Amino acid sequence: MTAEPGRGQPRKAGDGEPPAVAPARLRRLSRWLVEGLREDLVALYVESRATPPGDPYRRPSRQNFLNRLTVDMRRPGFAMVIAETDSLMGCAFGFPVGGDGSWWLGFDGALPRSIEQLTESGNAFAFAAILIRPHPGDRELARRVQERLLTDHQTSLSTTLVDRADRPTLAALHSWGWLDIGELRRPAGATTFRALVLPFGERTTARLEGLVTMPGDGGPSGAG
C-alpha cells in the first residue's frame, strides 16, 4: 500500500503564510483514462513520496509503482478517483475485496468477527494507494478522495496493507482515521504488513468500536 501525507499543516488567513490552494475537483477515471495519465501519476507518486533526510525506510522505485498499478488495474472492480485543480493534487485507487476471506490470508491471530462479517457480505474495499501532493489542506483532501471512492462502490469498510517498516505511511493513515488491527504476512512472502481498516458510515463505525486499543492495553496498536 502507498499512502503519503503532505508535509504542511492548515494555516489561518492573514498570518503571513501563502494562501490555501483552491478546492480540488474530484473525478473518477476509467481504466482507459488511467492509461493516459500514467506519467502524471508517476510524478504525483514521486512528489508525495519525498523522504526526509535520514529516513531509514527504503522507498520503492517509479517502475515498481507502475508495475503495481498495472497489476491492480487488471483486478475486477478496479477504480480510481483523482483530485485536480490546474494540476493533479491527489488520487486514490483500489478494488473490491472478495467475500471468500482470501484477502486476510496470513493474518496473525483471529480476525475480528466484525471485520470477517463485513468481508463475507461483500462490503469491503481494498485501497492500493492514496497519493496526496504536499499542501496545507492535504488531510482534508485525503478524506475527500477516500470517501468518494467508498461512496461510489457503496461499501462500508475499506482495508489496506502497509509494510510495517514504512512508518511515514502508517503515520499518515492513522492521521486520516485508519485503524490498525494487527499484522499479516503472506505465505512465502518476506514482508510483514500492518493490516488497517477504515470504517465508513455510523453503523460500521459503531461495530468497530473498541476494536483498536492503545499500546499497553493488551490489544492491537497503531504505529506512529
**Cα–Cα distances in Å, from 156 out to 76, 87, 129, 190, 197?**
18, 30, 18, 31, 10
**Selected residue with higher pLDDT from 208 and 76:** 76
The helix (run of H) or strand (run of E) holding residue 95 is: strand 88-96
The three cell numbers locating residue 155 = 461499501
SS3 81: strand
Specify which of 62-71, 129-138, 148-157, 213-222 reaches the highest per-range mean pLDDT.
62-71
pLDDT of 108? 94
What digits encode the pLDDT tens for the residues 16-33?
444 455 688 999 998 999
pLDDT tens track for 74-104: 999 999 999 999 899 999 999 999 999 999 9
pLDDT at 217 over 70: no
Residues 6+ apart with CB under 8 A from 189: 106
Q: What is the pLDDT of residue 62?
A: 85
Distance CA 62, CA 45 (A): 8
pLDDT at position 17 is 47
Residue 57 CA to residue 208 CA, distance in Å, equals: 31
Most confident of 8-12, 34-38, 114-118: 34-38
pLDDT at 54: 60
Place of cell 476494536: 211
Distance CA 51, CA 40 (A): 19
The superfamily CATH assigns to domain 2-6+25-50+58-207 is: Gcn5-related N-acetyltransferase (GNAT) (3.40.630.30)
Asked if pLDDT for residue 174 goes beyond 70, the answer is yes
CA 185 to chain centre: 18
Domain boundaries, the chain: 2-6+25-50+58-207
Inter-axis angle of helices 62-73 and 38-48, to 10 degrees? 130
Q: Please tell me which residue, 71 or 202, carries the higher pLDDT value.
A: 71
Pick from 48, 71, 128: nearest CA to 96 = 128
